């Protein structure tokens, strides 16, 4: 596959993946994705040989950079690093437009001023915009009430200007602050009911959903669950505040007194933004939560989700710290073998130019990022069915580490990094390595069988893609297991506050990831059928083997 073809796939897959998440992405990203698909289709009709280069460049500027900007900005905002976020939006204001963040500089600046104990200047900055119609006014008002901690006014503003149906249709910062305002006002029954409706819509991204879980559980006094939801990246001030809120929501008097003392201690050292929130909480005491049976059922479902997620381990595509050594070793080995191919080819070409070598290794088309052909791959150990039948069975293994060109290597190693890091962290290096090897060998045998049935005994086969597809199949099996555990409430019954824990299919933590992986498999298979150089039989064989092995093998403790 050429670099032009790779870019076409990247643009096509990324835009389709975004449009499949239309309900949860910013409208600007949906418009950019549709625009890039249109550009790709138009260019493919006129200049198919180079359309990937042009559409890839446009995609990088109009979609990739804004996506990276948005992801980094979101992380800074979640960690409450508003000064760093302010520097980012001021340095790259143009990138904010695509994600619908054109208003972000003033909002972030207001949060910075509030953190620096300048609430008057912060609120003045938002005063005019918060009365504006549309998203501009909504966002400004949300930040205004967040800074001022005027929860009664916030609740009245939302209930006066928005119907509950509108809040459910487009869950956003507005829905999040509505739930929090209900909790801050002590209306826990109403808070849990609204949370349950937002949760059932399944339109919240993971970060927003976890934040909602923490807010609701804190106001309901579920301190242990709040501790489990807080991670090492959570802001220190927010950690202390939400743990104290959970303590205030407990039934025993001593626990409430300890929580109040913790808030008083935090108020002495908190930044300006946290001080306003803490002062309100100390001024107006929270009553112990009184919940109906239906609300306890919702909390039971949330606890089941959290416990099953803890049982299932790290999420797919999350950072895997220090547990993917074999994945990196395989990436290094494949890269070393490819560099050996390239080195032998260049050496052969140089010696041949001086008349010292017969040219058994042919190095051609360096401009196409290093394609090796003919004798080079054959001598290095490519899979050739006729040679395997003649007794050279070692080719089924050696071919797994050979690649036709740099693009072939890069695409396989990138996929191995993403899929392999997760699978190795869940299964351990030994089981991961066995699945990689068995899937790779099985995919080569599957390709060989199909080639012989098609009357192509001299067909060449190289690449780690069969083994990588096996790892993808294993990952799919593991995520399906996580999803099933979440649906079944961790495969265990239990009680919460004297109420039975009834699992729910709604809001399970890995539903979106499972759909994403299935979409990747479908798109990959469709693309394989469209590219003549790709062995569909090898890919499907590896995928099937990995799926079966992933379903059978147990995860490490």
Same-domain pairing of 390 and 333: yes
Residue 162 confidence (pLDDT): 86
Between CA 35 and CA 248 the distance in angstroms is: 51
Tell me, yes or no, whether 311 lies in a domain: no
Mean pLDDT in order along the chain per 10 residues (557 residues) = 77 85 76 93 91 92 87 84 88 64 78 92 89 80 92 92 76 81 93 89 75 91 87 76 88 83 88 89 86 90 79 57 81 90 59 47 36 62 90 91 84 90 90 95 93 89 92 92 68 42 43 77 76 81 94 76
Same-domain pairing of 330 and 460: yes
The domain total for the chain is 3
Same-domain pairing of 407 and 266: no
Same-domain pairing of 402 and 358: yes
Q: Say if pTM beats, i.e. exceeds, 0.95.
A: no
CA 300 to chain CA centroid, nearest Å: 26
CATH number at residue 384: 1.20.1540.10
Residue 502 confidence (pLDDT): 39
The string of DSSP letters for 191-231 reads HHHHHHHHHHHT-S-HHHHHHHHHHHHHHTT-HHHHHHH--
Tell me, yes or no, whether 310 lies in a domain: no
Between CA 16 and CA 18 the distance in angstroms is: 5
199: domain range? 149-291
Tell me, yes or no, whether 135 lies in a domain: no
Q: Return the percentage of the chain with pLDDT > 70, whole number.
A: 81
Same-domain pairing of 248 and 350: no
Same-domain pairing of 278 and 332: no
Q: Of the residues 237, 267, 291, which one is the last residue of a structural domain? A: 291
Q: Of the residues 85, 102, 119, which one is the last residue of a structural domain? A: 102
Same-domain pairing of 264 and 211: yes
Between CA 32 and CA 19 the distance in angstroms is: 10
Tell me, yes or no, whether 128 lies in a domain: no
Which conformational region is residue 451 in: left (phi greater than 0), alpha (psi within -120 to 50 degrees), or beta? alpha
Q: What is the pLDDT of residues 517-539, one digit of tens each?
A: 888 888 778 777 766 667 888 99
Same-domain pairing of 429 and 479: yes
CA nearest neighbour of 73 among 86, 91, 61, 85 = 85
Quickly count: other Cβ atoms within 10 Å of residue 406's Cβ: 18
Q: Of the residues 268, 291, 314, which one is the last residue of a structural domain? A: 291
The string of DSSP letters for 428-455 reads -HHHHHHHHHHHHHHHHHHHHHHHHHTT
Same-domain pairing of 352 and 418: yes
Same-domain pairing of 171 and 70: no
Q: Could you tell me if 499 and 318 are in contact, meaning their C-beta atoms sit under 8 angstroms apart?
A: no
Between CA 378 and CA 16 the distance in angstroms is: 38
Same-domain pairing of 166 and 230: yes
Residue 494 confidence (pLDDT): 43
Between CA 88 and CA 105 the distance in angstroms is: 9
Between CA 228 and CA 305 the distance in angstroms is: 12
Residue 16 confidence (pLDDT): 86
Q: What are the respective helix, strand and coil percentages of the chain, to the nearest 5?
A: 70, 0, 25
């Amino acid at each position: 596959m050429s670099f032009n073809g790779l870019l076409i796939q990247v643009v096509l897959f990324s835009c389709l993946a975004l449009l499949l998440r239309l309900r949860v992405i910013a409208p600007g990203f949906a418009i950019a994705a549709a625009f890039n698909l249109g550009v790709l289709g138009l260019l493919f009709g006129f200049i198919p040989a180079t359309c990937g280069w042009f559409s890839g460049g446009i995609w990088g500027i109009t979609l990739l950079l804004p996506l990276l900007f948005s992801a980094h900005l979101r992380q800074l905002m979640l960690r409450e690093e508003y000064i760093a976020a302010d520097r980012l939006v001021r340095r790259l204001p143009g990138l904010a437009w695509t994600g619908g963040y054109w208003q972000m500089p003033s909002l972030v600046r207001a949060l910075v001023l509030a953190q620096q104990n300048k609430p008057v200047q912060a609120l003045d900055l938002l005063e005019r915009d918060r009365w504006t119609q549309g998203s501009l006014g909504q966002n400004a008002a949300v930040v205004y009430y967040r800074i001022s901690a005027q929860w009664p006014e916030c609740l009245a503003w939302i209930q006066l200007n928005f119907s509950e149906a509108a809040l459910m249709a487009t869950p956003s910062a507005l829905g999040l602050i509505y739930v929090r305002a209900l909790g801050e006002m002590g209306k826990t029954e109403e808070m849990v009911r609204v949370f349950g409706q937002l949760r059932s819509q399944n339109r919240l991204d993971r970060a927003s959903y976890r934040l909602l879980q923490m807010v609701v559980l804190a106001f309901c006094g579920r301190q242990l669950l709040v501790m489990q939801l807080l991670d090492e990246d959570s802001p220190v001030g927010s950690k202390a505040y939400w743990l104290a809120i959970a303590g205030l929501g407990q039934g025993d008097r001593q626990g409430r007194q300890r929580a109040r003392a913790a808030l008083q201690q935090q108020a002495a050292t908190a930044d300006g933004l946290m001080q306003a929130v803490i002062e309100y909480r100390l001024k107006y005491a929270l009553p112990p939560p009184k919940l109906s049976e239906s609300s306890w059922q919702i909390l039971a479902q949330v606890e089941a989700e959290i416990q099953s997620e803890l049982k299932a381990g790290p999420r797919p595509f999350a950072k895997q710290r220090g547990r993917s050594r074999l994945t990196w070793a395989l990436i290094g080995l494949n890269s070393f073998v490819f560099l050996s191919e390239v080195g032998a080819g260049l050496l052969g070409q140089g010696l041949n130019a001086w008349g010292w070598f017969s040219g058994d290794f042919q190095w051609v088309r360096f401009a196409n990022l290093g394609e090796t052909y003919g004798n080079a791959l054959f001598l290095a150990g490519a899979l050739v069915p006729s040679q395997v039948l003649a007794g050279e069975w070692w080719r089924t293994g050696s071919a797994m580490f050979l690649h036709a060109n740099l693009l072939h290597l890069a695409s396989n190693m990138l996929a191995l990094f993403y899929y392999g890091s997760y699978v190795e962290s869940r299964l351990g290096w030994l089981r991961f390595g066995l699945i990689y090897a068995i899937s790779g060998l099985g995919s080569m045998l599957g390709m060989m069988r199909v080639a012989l049935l098609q009357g192509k005994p001299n067909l060449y086969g190289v690449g780690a893609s069969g083994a990588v597809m096996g790892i993808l199949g294993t990952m799919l099996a593991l995520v399906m297991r996580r999803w099933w555990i979440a649906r079944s409430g961790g495969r265990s019954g239990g009680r919460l506050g004297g109420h039975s824990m009834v699992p729910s299919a709604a809001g399970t933590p890995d539903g979106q990831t499972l759909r994403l992986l299935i979409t990747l498999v479908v798109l990959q298979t469709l693309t394989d059928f469209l590219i003549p150089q790709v062995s569909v039989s090898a890919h499907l064989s590896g995928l099937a083997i990995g799926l079966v092995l992933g379903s059978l093998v147990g995860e490490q403790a």
